[in-house]
Structure 1
Amino acid sequence: MSVLSTGTGALLAFQRALSTVSHNVANVNTEGYTRQRVDFATRTPIDYGYGYVGSGTKVADIRRMADELATSRLLDSGGELARLQQLSALTSRLDALFSDSATNLAGAWSNFFDSVSALSSNAAATAERQNVLAEANALATRFRQLDGHIASLDSEINNSLLAGASEISRLAAEIARINGEVGSDASKAAPDLLDRRDQLVAELVGYTGGTAVMQDGGAINVFTAGGQPLVVGVQASKLTTVADPYRPERLQLALDGGGSRTVLDQRVLGGRMGGLLEFRNTVLDPAAAELGRIAVAMATTFNQGHAAGMDLYGNLGGAFFDVPAPQVNAHAGNGGGATLQAQVADVSALDGQNLVLRLGDTGWIAMRADTGEALPMTGSGTAADPFVVAGISLQVSGTAAIGDRFLVQPTARAPGGFSVAISDPSRIAAATPVRGNAALSNVGSGALSGLRVEDASDPALLQDAVIEFLDAGQYTIDGAGPFAFTPGQRISANGWSVVLDGIPAAGDQFTISRAAPGSGDNGNATRLANLDDARVVSGGTISLNGAVGGLTTMVGSAARQAEYAADAQQVIHDDARAARDAVAGVNLDEEAANMLRLQQAYQAAAQIISTADNLFQSILSAVRR
């Protein structure tokens, strides 16, 4: 009977070991599966008086071949990889938008200034004027299209945050449930249940980044990258979305747990959600701000140049482009009744970055919305003396309470509201509104050139003015003077300026008078055609063309950096996975060897049972005789 018992026990032990090997092989492609191994132990021997006789083997344990350090490393690298891949994917889409010839700004921009250059060659031609308006409308449409694509990406991020919050809450609840099933001793839990929990934790960290900490007794606690608890024992927090207090159309992530709601710090969140928020804050918003700054600078500069010309009706040029004023949003928690109105005060000082204006105990202060950096501000905020900060003037109306805050978006609405202000081609101010003539009686060699308008708002701009020379070195303007003269110098008055070359003689006169309606003069059109090279951005250091090229470069550089970072993190993650699989992964060659060895042991145990049966039959036969 002892031989039969020993053989039967061994047979069952090897059968269970073969089942475990089969389980390993069957799950070779199962994500997150941890290889299991059977540990054998001798059964309790029997004391027969003359000594102990062994009673065979038994299955002592079925162990998960898990390396907690390798698993933790894989978890960390997985969360970071998910963040960088999300950031890279979205940034690449934005880069394609600004670099593709079918959607970028540069093509429509170049076509518009080419049309203005063509107009300067034939300023009175209707076809060239119609072409300028057509290309101007195409440029305005391109600004609006880009703004629409950016808004679409922003909306997509909102939808992804909503879906992600729901999935994170589900994963956290499932992990907490499994923690309850595992109980106080993970060593007694089913290995497959622990695998399931580890896989859920990896998915959760892939959404939020963060860490997983093993608790005494076997439960796993999961925290976000910012340290907020998602799972603590059998308690799971719920992730939800809340409206941004400044911009209700934008969503933020918040954690509901312990009877309170905590808005997660967008700057430290990891995983896919961190990648979404990082893209919005560090790539999408700066690109939108720069696109808006270009729109404002373009409209302002071109309008100023257009106002310095005269159209075919004989009127000074008005606004050629329309662009909305900066947007101001009050914080949802403001307690006062104040409102702010904003205008662009200085294009060269405009950087497009969002500002926060806050009323403190000592008065109003301005700071950058993204970094909190304090910004210099002048003025008192009244209509007569508005605040001026970063090229924006701000007028405060009503009474504010201490702590009230306002978000100022200098260029947020500019691309979406960019439009052409005129529709009549005859209203294009291609001509210089004044002209210069030398008196027929002049005897000197003086000659006028380079006549241009310096200040179109001067009320005396279109009035006749006479420059008369007293001698070769002195002149008067409408009797005012005398003024010293040097050949080649620029003479200015009434909002215009002109260069006088040569040596005039005493009594020589030059008249500056209003140009006639229908003039085919191209002076202002020539000036407008060269405005794309005007250095009006970043304190007068960058031209409009440079700003357009800089926007494309900025987005492209961000896309490349995100791609390089994601590729590098992929290598780190692959190494971490290889280290984990070296211990926990299923090796088919090893499992095949184990199966062969266990099969032979199983057959040997079966032979023991057969031998025991033969012995038992021999005893029965002897008794029957």
Structure 2
Amino acid sequence: MSVLSTGTGALIAFQRALATVSHNVANLNTPGYSRQRADFAARTPTDYGYGYVGNGTRLAQVGRVADQMAISRLLDSGGELARLQQLSSLAGRVDSLFSDKATNLAGLWSNFFDSVSALSSNASSSAERENLLAQASAMANRFRVLDGQLGALGQEVNNGLITGAAEINRLSAEVARLNGMIGSDATRAAPDLLDRRDQLISELVAYTGGTAVSQDGGPLNVFTAGGQALVVGTIATQVATVADPYRPERLQLALLTPGQPITLDGRSMGGRIGGLLEFRASVLDPSMAELGRIASGLVDTFNAAHRAGMDLYGQMGGDFFALPAPAVNPHQGNGSGATLQASFHDLGQVDGQNLLLRFEGGGWVAQRVDTGASVPVAGSGAPGDPLRVNGIAIVVAGTPASGDRFLLQPTAGVAGGISVAITDPSRIAAATPVKARADIGNLGTGIPGKVTVTDASDAALLVPARIEFLDAGQYTVDGAGPFAYTPGQSISANGWSLVLDGMPAAGDFFEVVPTGPGSSDNGNATRLANLDDARVLSGGTVTLNGAIGGLTTAIGSAARQAGYSAEAQQVLHDQAQSARDAISGVNLDEEAANMLRLQQAYQAAAQIIATADTMFQSILNAARR
């Protein structure tokens, strides 16, 4: 009977070990599966008086082969890889938008200024004027399209947050449920449950970043990259999307706590969600702001120069482009109904950075949203003394309450509202509004050069003026003076200035008169054609043309950097995966060898049972005799 018992026990043990091997082979391609190993132990021997006789083997346990350090490393690398891949994918789309010839701004920008240059060569041509308006409309439309595409990417981020929140809640709930099933001692839990939990945690961390921490050898608690708890034991914290308090159209991610939702800082998130939020903060928002800054620079500079010219009707030029004002959004929790109206004050100081304005202690303070750095604020906010911050003028309407907060977006989104303000080609102010002429009876060699408008708003700009030289070193303007004169100096009055070539003589006089309607003068068109190289941004250090190149370069650099980082992280993740698979992965050669060995052992155990049966039959036959 002892031989039969020994053989039967061995047969059962080897049969279950073979089942384990077949289970490994069947799950060769199951994500997150850890190979299982059957461990054998000798059964308790029997004392027969003369000594102990063994009773064969038993299956001590079937456990998974896993290394928690390798699993943790894989979790970390997986979350970071998901973040970088998300960032790289979206940044690459913005790069394509601004670098592709079919969609970028540079081509239409160049066409527009080429048309202005063509007009300066033939200022009275109706065809050139029509072409200028057409190119201006095409360029304005490209600004709007680019801003709209960036806005669509912002909506994709919103949709990604909504989808991600649903997946985070599903995965967190499933991990918490498995924690309950596994209990307080993971060593006694089913290996497949442990694998399933690890796989779900891996998927969860791919959304949020972070890690998993064992609690007393049983449940695994999951935390985001910023340390916020998603799963603690059998309790899963729900997340949801909430509206930005300044921009309701923009969503944020928040933890749903018993008190109130806790908004998660994008800088403390990893995984796909972290990639979405980082893309929005470091690529999308700066791109929209810089595109708006370029549009603002173009409109402000071109309009100012256009207002200094004269159209074919003999009228001073008006605004060539229209552009919306900077946005100032109140916080939804403000205690008053005060509103802020912003306008551009000094374009050279506008950097496009979003600012947070707060009313504290009877005054206003400002700080950058991205860094929190303080920004100087001047003025009281009254119509005659507006707040002035980073080149923006702000008028406060109503009485603000202490603690009121406002988000100032100087240039973000303004490119989406740019348009051409005129439709009549004759309204293009190509001519210089005033011209100078010398009296035919002058004795000197003085010849007036082109007149430059220095102040188009001067009420006396179009009033005829007479410059008379008392001698070679003195002159009067409409009887005012005398003023000292040296050859080559500018003569200025009534918002204009000019320089004389040659030397005037005593009694010489010159007249500055309005250009008049229908003029073919191209003075202002020539000035407009050179504005793309005007240094009007960043305190007069960057040209409009240079700003476009800088924007394209910055976006391309961000996309390449994200791509390189994602490629590097993929290598690290592959190494972590290989390290985990070297320990926990299923090796078919090894399993085949185990199967052959166990099959032979199973056959041997079966032979033991057959031998025991023969022995038992021999005893029965002897008893019959």
- TM-score relative to the length of structure 2: 0.99
1:313 aligns with 2:313: yes
- The structural deviation recorded for 1:235 is 0.5
Counterpart CA distance in 2 for 1:101 and 1:616 is 92
1:126 aligns with 2:123: no
Q: CA 1:218–1:47 in structure 2 vs 1: closer, same or farther (change >3 Å)?
A: same
Counterpart CA distance in 1 for 2:279 and 2:561 is 12
Aligned to 2:294: 294
- The structural deviation recorded for 1:260 is 4.0
Is residue 183–residue 217 contact of structure 1 (8 Å, CA) maintained in 2?
no
- The structural deviation recorded for 1:618 is 2.0
- The structural deviation recorded for 1:394 is 0.8
Is residue 186–residue 217 contact of structure 2 (8 Å, CA) maintained in 1?
yes
Aligned to 1:476: 476
1:164 aligns with 2:172: no
Aligned to 2:408: 408
One-letter code aligned to 1:223: F
Counterpart secondary structure, 1:511: strand
Aligned to 1:138: 138
Counterpart CA distance in 2 for 1:257 and 1:567 is 37
Counterpart secondary structure, 2:621: helix
Deviation string, structure 1 residues 340-399 (Cα, Å, up to 9, x no partner): 111100111111111111011252101112221110111111111111000001111211
Aligned to 1:571: 571
Counterpart CA distance in 1 for 2:497 and 2:272 is 60
Counterpart secondary structure, 2:570: helix
One-letter code aligned to 2:576: A
Counterpart CA distance in 1 for 2:207 and 2:102 is 34
Counterpart CA distance in 2 for 1:107 and 1:317 is 27
Is residue 435–residue 450 contact of structure 2 (8 Å, CA) maintained in 1?
no
Aligned to 2:599: 599
Deviation string, structure 1 residues 178-206 (Cα, Å, up to 9, x no partner): 11101111111110011000000011111
Counterpart CA distance in 2 for 1:80 and 1:374 is 32
- The structural deviation recorded for 1:498 is 1.1
Deviation string, structure 1 residues 516-554 (Cα, Å, up to 9, x no partner): 200011111111000000000000000000011111111
- The structural deviation recorded for 1:412 is 2.4
What does 1:126-525 align with in structure 2 at a 5 Å threshold? 126-361=126-361, 363-525=363-525
One-letter code aligned to 1:582: A
Counterpart CA distance in 1 for 2:36 and 2:500 is 96
Is residue 324–residue 413 contact of structure 1 (8 Å, CA) maintained in 2?
no
Counterpart secondary structure, 1:103: coil
Is residue 289–residue 413 contact of structure 2 (8 Å, CA) maintained in 1?
no
Counterpart CA distance in 2 for 1:438 and 1:260 is 80
Is residue 447–residue 500 contact of structure 1 (8 Å, CA) maintained in 2?
yes
Q: CA 1:258–1:337 in structure 2 vs 1: closer, same or farther (change >3 Å)?
A: closer
One-letter code aligned to 1:491: I
- The structural deviation recorded for 1:483 is 2.0
- The structural deviation recorded for 1:485 is 2.0
Is residue 489–residue 501 contact of structure 1 (8 Å, CA) maintained in 2?
no
One-letter code aligned to 1:594: N
Deviation string, structure 1 residues 299-319 (Cα, Å, up to 9, x no partner): 010000101111000000000
What does 1:609-620 align with in structure 2 at a 5 Å threshold? 609-620=609-620
Q: What's the C-alpha RMSD, in Å, of the aligned pairs?
A: 1.1
One-letter code aligned to 2:501: D
- The structural deviation recorded for 1:117 is 0.5
One-letter code aligned to 2:579: A
5+ residue gaps, structure 2, are none
Counterpart CA distance in 2 for 1:610 and 1:430 is 112
Counterpart secondary structure, 2:265: coil
Is residue 362–residue 402 contact of structure 2 (8 Å, CA) maintained in 1?
no
Counterpart secondary structure, 1:343: strand
One-letter code aligned to 1:380: S
Counterpart secondary structure, 2:407: strand
- The structural deviation recorded for 1:70 is 0.8
Deviation string, structure 1 residues 416-449 (Cα, Å, up to 9, x no partner): 1100000000000001111111111112111222
1:561 aligns with 2:561: yes
Counterpart CA distance in 1 for 2:530 and 2:300 is 15
Aligned to 1:88: 88
- The structural deviation recorded for 1:624 is 2.2
- The structural deviation recorded for 1:450 is 3.3
Counterpart CA distance in 2 for 1:549 and 1:489 is 38
One-letter code aligned to 1:373: A
Counterpart CA distance in 2 for 1:51 and 1:472 is 139
Counterpart CA distance in 2 for 1:242 and 1:261 is 8
Counterpart CA distance in 2 for 1:452 and 1:602 is 105
- The structural deviation recorded for 1:8 is 1.2
Is residue 325–residue 413 contact of structure 1 (8 Å, CA) maintained in 2?
no
Is residue 290–residue 412 contact of structure 2 (8 Å, CA) maintained in 1?
no
Counterpart CA distance in 2 for 1:586 and 1:112 is 65
Counterpart CA distance in 1 for 2:521 and 2:499 is 18
- The structural deviation recorded for 1:482 is 2.0
Counterpart CA distance in 1 for 2:537 and 2:294 is 8
Q: CA 1:231–1:434 in structure 2 vs 1: closer, same or farther (change >3 Å)?
A: same
Counterpart secondary structure, 1:170: helix
Counterpart secondary structure, 1:28: coil
One-letter code aligned to 1:385: D
Aligned to 1:586: 586
Counterpart CA distance in 1 for 2:554 and 2:210 is 30
Deviation string, structure 1 residues 138-175 (Cα, Å, up to 9, x no partner): 01100110111011011111111011101100100001
Aligned to 1:105: 105
Is residue 285–residue 412 contact of structure 2 (8 Å, CA) maintained in 1?
no
- The structural deviation recorded for 1:514 is 0.3
- The structural deviation recorded for 1:488 is 2.0
Aligned to 1:548: 548
Counterpart CA distance in 1 for 2:219 and 2:394 is 56
Counterpart secondary structure, 2:314: coil
Counterpart CA distance in 2 for 1:41 and 1:361 is 78
Counterpart CA distance in 2 for 1:151 and 1:226 is 28
Counterpart secondary structure, 2:247: coil
- The structural deviation recorded for 1:584 is 0.9
Is residue 472–residue 505 contact of structure 2 (8 Å, CA) maintained in 1?
yes
Counterpart secondary structure, 1:335: coil
Counterpart CA distance in 1 for 2:130 and 2:89 is 41
Counterpart CA distance in 2 for 1:573 and 1:259 is 39
- The structural deviation recorded for 1:467 is 1.5
Counterpart CA distance in 2 for 1:88 and 1:429 is 46
Is residue 88–residue 566 contact of structure 2 (8 Å, CA) maintained in 1?
yes
Counterpart secondary structure, 1:267: helix
Aligned to 1:53: 53
- The structural deviation recorded for 1:486 is 2.2
Counterpart CA distance in 2 for 1:260 and 1:325 is 35
Aligned to 2:30: 30
Counterpart CA distance in 2 for 1:581 and 1:497 is 81
One-letter code aligned to 2:21: V
One-letter code aligned to 2:617: Q
Q: CA 1:257–1:516 in structure 2 vs 1: closer, same or farther (change >3 Å)?
A: closer
Counterpart CA distance in 1 for 2:450 and 2:538 is 28
5+ residue gaps, structure 1, are none
Counterpart secondary structure, 2:71: helix
Query: How many pairs align?
Result: 625
The share of aligned pairs that are identical, in percent, is 70
- The structural deviation recorded for 1:238 is 0.6
Counterpart CA distance in 1 for 2:250 and 2:495 is 48
Is residue 39–residue 59 contact of structure 1 (8 Å, CA) maintained in 2?
yes
Deviates more, 1:488-497 or 1:196-205: 488-497
